[in-house]
Amino acid sequence: MTIASNLGFPRIGPDRELKRALEHYWAGRSTADDLAASAQAIRRTNWERQTRLGIEHVPSNDFSLYDHVLDTAVMLGVVPERFRRLTEIDDTQRYFAMARGIGDGRSSVLAMEMTKWFDTNYHYIVPEFEPEQDFYLASMKPVNEFLEARALGIVTRPVVLGPISFLLLGKNRRTPQPPLARLHAVLPAYEQLLTRLHAAGAQWVQFDEPCLALGLSSTEQRAYHTAYERLGAAGPRVLVATYFGDLGANLPTALALPVAALHLDLVRGAGQLMPALEGAPDTLALSLGVVDGRNVWRADLDAALAPLLRATRALGTDRVLVAPSCSLLHVPVDLESEAALDDELRGWLAFATQKLQEVSLLTAAVRGEPGQAAEAFAEARLAQERRRASSRTHDATVRAREAAVSEDMLRRAPYAVRRARQARRLKLPPLPTTTIGSFPQTPELRRARADARAGRLGQQAYDAFLRARIEEAIEVQEDAGLDVFVHGEFERNDMVEYFGEQFTGFAFTQQGWVQSYGSRCVKPPIIYGDVSRPHPMTVRWTTFAQSLTSRPVKGMLTGPVTMLQWSFVRDDQPRERTCRQLALVIRDEAADLEAAGIRVIQIDEPAIREGLPLRAEEWSAYLRWAVRAFRLASSGVGDGTQVHTHMCYAAFDDIIAAVAEMDADVLSIETSRSDMELLATFGRVGYPNAVGPGVYDVHSPAIPAAGDIEHLLSNALAVLSPGQLWVNPDCGLKTRRWEEVRPALAAMVTAAKRMRLSHGLT
């Protein structure tokens, strides 16, 4: 019988219960036992919800207190020596130290590196493998959570990051050996885990192997067979889950794995179904991801049913599982929480809960079961028709302007010319210091914003509150001695949402939260129609900040690619077209800032690497339109206006030529967790423009010491010339407390001044 299944459910809780539990624990307002109880309550709610929705393969171990890759590292004993040495802390504190770092300004232990999970906005902690790494089953978390669900009467399918993807996503430290060379060392721990799960009563285990969607070498392809020849025979039936793309040349490898089932993402890789049906051995079941786990649009049930029926005709009903395309980690929990959305737009949407309802309906339709399936299919059909016919999605004026974009609109003078003009205008010292943009979003600030939204705080009083916060931020920067200031972004709830709220074609949710990392949750806007800007958005507060100081204050904008990547994007036209519309509105805003006297404008693009397709053959097309969108947004200002951009947690090796082609005057990047390792790429290609490599980790509560920052700057100067180097934190400071920000900025400025003296820079 065809099975309704799920690969993973949002772990934050329907009302962000995990966020609050974590932050209470980190602040010392609750104990580890309190945190564990909160986590258990979220897991129970998730399991029971999925069971009620008719899901028969309910996942367990998809929950994490911070990150599932970090959980896997801890489970396998992959704890770097610098954290093992911390004997004064317990295991829970050590786990969070690995994710967030630990320190007091005098000494610190750096957190592990964090980077993007494939082409999503989720961040994972990068495993670190030491030269003599010993792998062993150090944690029973998957077994314990399986037993926890079983005690509730729910037999789950435990989810574990597979051994090949775990190794490929990690890094070897102090050895050139590729991580995959450690496969034979890690497999016994995985086998032991399967033995324990089998003894606990697990019938299925899901191994996530998203790296199968990447371009793999023949050695890596062979490693999959080596691994699953052992794991497929270790006890429970094994489902290998792939997602985020078509497997392409890796499909024969995946089909040949000696496992019980293979999951395929048919939303992003519809073309792989027919070769999979033709190549699947008689012993292999296929889990088919026909409901989009990455976006919020209601499924076209008729279109989703067609491949399922094709599969059951080829394989039989007993060898087909119905599922979302990937874990539902990437979408909000429940559309029912969105009472403020208008009925028309609500009719177009589905969140995690509704997507599992769609999975259940599709399963019932495949089985030919009577009930509500026919009515639900008719409703879905009508919703699709109404969306296509809606006047809300098309704006003739926007489309005419988009069609009129010319090559001249994408060009500025050569960088050398711009640099000279900007130097005369700005008069900055060598190694100029700045921050990335945001300052602490304190509880007081969040309360004031909420009160203003709810009407409890009048606009005049709220504006006075914001002016006071900006004045405070300027004073902090004056005291620290920074060279280029920011206004602090106190009026902004989120770097995408703030802008989208002022655009046409955008909609916003009240509870549409999605985890980005740890306790950090974002509420992505929904782009449902053509995008335009009715009025200027940032000029008022930026010019107010500039009036308070003689130092230049940056105008802070979010770039078009990041606006696109960090939103739920309409799926009824090419993403390139939506991005071009976004670029035009950012271009207009930059021109307004320049006209108001702002001399430095930062157009952040932290998500440009994230948007890179997983398949190398698709990179050039994406990078071409992404770079053009940035240049369209940034090239409407004069040559004397300095344009910055910011990118964080990205591997630049694959895109360095495109980054150079973006031609920002100053590029700031995250480098502190990797000890400036990323800069090697910039040195190798002779990157010509200015670079601000992050000198301390803003995602850690640890306060950096000036000496540590000098060490990083010395590493940077081994690659960059002094005229190229800027000094800044890794990212914005919104998640930090003022008690951390003030000494950190002071240490950063002190380090920059010492480096100027020691290198004879004046």
107: confidence class by pLDDT, cuts 50, 70, 90: low
pLDDT the model gives residue 469: 97
* Residues 320 and 195 reside in one and the same domain: yes
Confidence check: pLDDT of 624 > 90 = yes
Q: What is the pLDDT of residues 306-348, one digit of tens each?
A: 999 999 999 999 999 999 999 999 999 999 999 999 999 999 9
Tens digit of pLDDT for each residue in 626-685?
999 999 999 999 999 999 999 875 667 788 899 999 999 999 988 877 667 778 888 888
Do 386 and 427 belong together in one domain?
A: no
Residue 105: pLDDT over 60? no
The predicted pLDDT at position 168 comes to 97
**How many domains would you assign to the chain?**
2
Residues 590 and 707 in one domain: yes
3-state secondary structure of 283: coil
Determine, yes or no, domain membership for 458: no
Do 366 and 423 fall into the same domain?
A: no
Residue 38 lies inside a defined structural domain of this protein: yes
Q: Are residues 356 and 276 part of one domain?
A: yes
User: What's the CA gap between 113 and 111, in Å, rounded?
Assistant: 6
pLDDT of residue 173: 82
- Give pLDDT, residue 235: 87
Could you tell me if residue 447 is inside a domain?
no
Could you give the CA distance from residue 513 to residue 520 in angstroms, rounded to a whole number? 10
Q: What is the pLDDT of residue 650?
A: 60
Domain shared by 336 and 413, yes or no: no
Domain limits at 534?
402-440+475-758
**pLDDT value for 671:** 80
Q: Which two tokens stand for residue 278?
A: 């033709």
The span from the first CA to the last CA of the chain, in angstroms, equals 76
The conformation of residue 249, written as its DSSP 8-state character, comes to: G
In a domain, 450, yes or no: no
The pLDDT tens digits of the residues spanning 371-414 come to: 767 889 999 999 999 999 999 999 999 999 999 999 999 999 99
Is 254 in the same domain as 339?
yes
| pLDDT beyond 60 at 465 | yes
pLDDT band at 197 (very low <50, low <70, confident <90, very high): very high
Query: What is the average per-residue pLDDT within 196-217?
Result: 97
pTM, to two decimals: 0.90
Catalytic residue among 24, 123, 699, 711: 699
Active-site residue, 330 included: no
Tell me, what's the pLDDT at 702? 85
Which is it for strands 285-291 and 261-265: parallel, antiparallel or unpaired? parallel
346 located within any domain: yes
CATH number at residue 479: 3.20.20.210
Are 328 and 367 contained in the same domain?
yes
HEC profile of 528-587: EEEEECCCCCCHHHHHHHHCCCCCCEEEEEECHHHHHHCCEECCCCCHHHHHHHHHHHHH
